[in-house]
Amino acid sequence: MIARISAHVGRDGATLTLKTGCGLVLKASTGADDGVLDDFYADYDRAFILSSEKEGYEGFVRCLGLNAGRTYEALAARFGAFCEYVLTVSDVGTGARIGGANLIAYPISSSAADAVLAINLNYVFINAASRRHGYFRRLIQDLPLATHNLLWAMHSAELSASWAGAGGVPPTFMFIEQNDPLRMSAEDYARDTDLTGLDQLARIGIWARLGAKIIDFDYVQPALSSAQSPDENLVLAVLGASGAVLSPCVLYQHLLRFFAISVLKGGDPLTDPTAGPQLAELQRLCEEGRQVNLLEAVNLARAAGDATSLRSYLSRDRGP
């Protein structure tokens, strides 16, 4: 359950404050000028340290700026309704700010799925002083419904045709990027582990116990800015997908939007040297009626032998 405490929806975006059934208060915004981004970024800047994975403040401003005006209209004409937002998380009892998140969401449909809410959880974190109190699990549980509330507040007219009478939140897939512990440099592995106090493989296991499955696809994040390089040390995972496979048609529709909006800030992913080949491969698999395997990552050994990536390690037991 989520109760709306306050809401402001205007031409330039929306700010919603939501109280969740898990004892959290989420303050979410699709704009850059109401203070939510500043509060989010102050905590985010301490939570993420690896340059390859980190979005700068101006990058967030650019992404949030795509939510409104002519830029939004042009992107929505190509991809349909969407919203990217940042949020801060507070404890309902103490009022203390305990973390934050950045997400983009949009409905997608394909030959394999209709009226699916796709979410890319770009960043999520719990502040150091608030870790190990169960906040992370509660936040992940609340994010799909909170996202539905915000997307509907922004774009109910655009979504009503496909979601009217759905009886609640449509089927939701939440995609997340994770560090591949077997591809990270020893230096990055140590720095990130030291900051969070959590081993990289243990982190994969935590997500797995929440229901995340590793997508067996050769995923590379395109460069977030002209000053950065593509990140080849990631795996893509999904929450909410039942079974052992995922439709490449769904994954294509998701990455087409995520790459275009959150990563390339309105650029064309089909011509991007990193995004384009991945989308072409997914389109080929979709046209051939193939499926993409989903890999379970609950029981990870601390040492992964001679495996060169998490995907190769996890797929060993699947057979041909």
Digit-coded pLDDT (tens) for 227-240 = 899 999 999 999 99
Question: Which pLDDT does position 202 carry in this prediction?
Answer: 86
Q: What is the CA radius of gyration of the chain?
A: 19
Query: Quick one: average pLDDT of 271-289?
Result: 97
Above 80 in pLDDT, residue 99?
A: yes
Q: What is the pLDDT of residue 113?
A: 47
- Residue 96 has a pLDDT of 96
| pLDDT for position 301 | 61
2: which DSSP letter? Answer: E
Please tell me the number of Cα atoms within 13 Å of 51 on its side-chain side.
7
What does the pLDDT average to over 8-15? 84
What pLDDT, on the 0 to 100 scale, is given for residue 196? 75
Task: State how far the alpha carbon of 132 is from the alpha carbons of 82, 135, 138, 177, 254, in Å.
Answer: 33, 7, 12, 22, 32
How far apart (Å, rounded) are the C-alpha atoms in residues 207 and 162? 31
* pLDDT grade for 13, boundaries at 50, 70 and 90: confident
Q: Quick one: pLDDT at residue 153?
A: 87
* Residue whose C-alpha is closest to residue 35's, from 15, 19, 6: 15
According to CATH, the topology of domain 2-318 is Aminopeptidase (3.40.630)
Question: What pLDDT does residue 303 have?
Answer: 52
Token representation of residue 282: 């997914």
What's the confidence (pLDDT) of residue 112?
A: 43
More confident residue, 306 or 259: 259
The percentage of residues in the chain with a pLDDT greater than 90, rounded to a whole number, is 65
Q: What is the mean pLDDT of residues 123-141?
A: 94
**Mean pLDDT, rounded, of the chain:** 89
Taking alpha carbons only, the member of 51, 121, 57, 63 closest to residue 264 is 63
What tens digit of pLDDT does each residue of 46-79 get? 999 888 788 999 999 999 999 999 999 999 999 9
* Average pLDDT, integer, range 168-187: 86
The whole-number pLDDT of residue 318 equals 57
Section 210-221 average pLDDT: 96
Q: What is the distance of C-alpha 300 from the center of its chain?
A: 23
Q: What is the mean pLDDT of residues 280-292?
A: 97
Question: Tokens at residue 15, please?
Answer: 């700010």
pLDDT at 10: 81
Say what the pLDDT of residue 190 is.
Answer: 86
- Find the DSSP H helices in 124-265: 135-163, 186-196, 200-209, 248-258
Q: What is the mean pLDDT of residues 198-220?
A: 92
24-29 sheet: strands from edge to edge: 2-10, 13-20, 24-29, 83-91, 97-108, 116-126, 172-179, 234-239, 213-215, 292-295, 245-246
Of residues 306 and 144, the one with the higher pLDDT is 144
Can you give the pTM of this predicted structure? 0.92
Domain boundaries, the chain: 2-318
Instruction: Give the pLDDT confidence score for residue 315 in this predicted structure.
Output: 83
Q: What are phi and psi of 232, to 5 degrees?
A: -95, 0
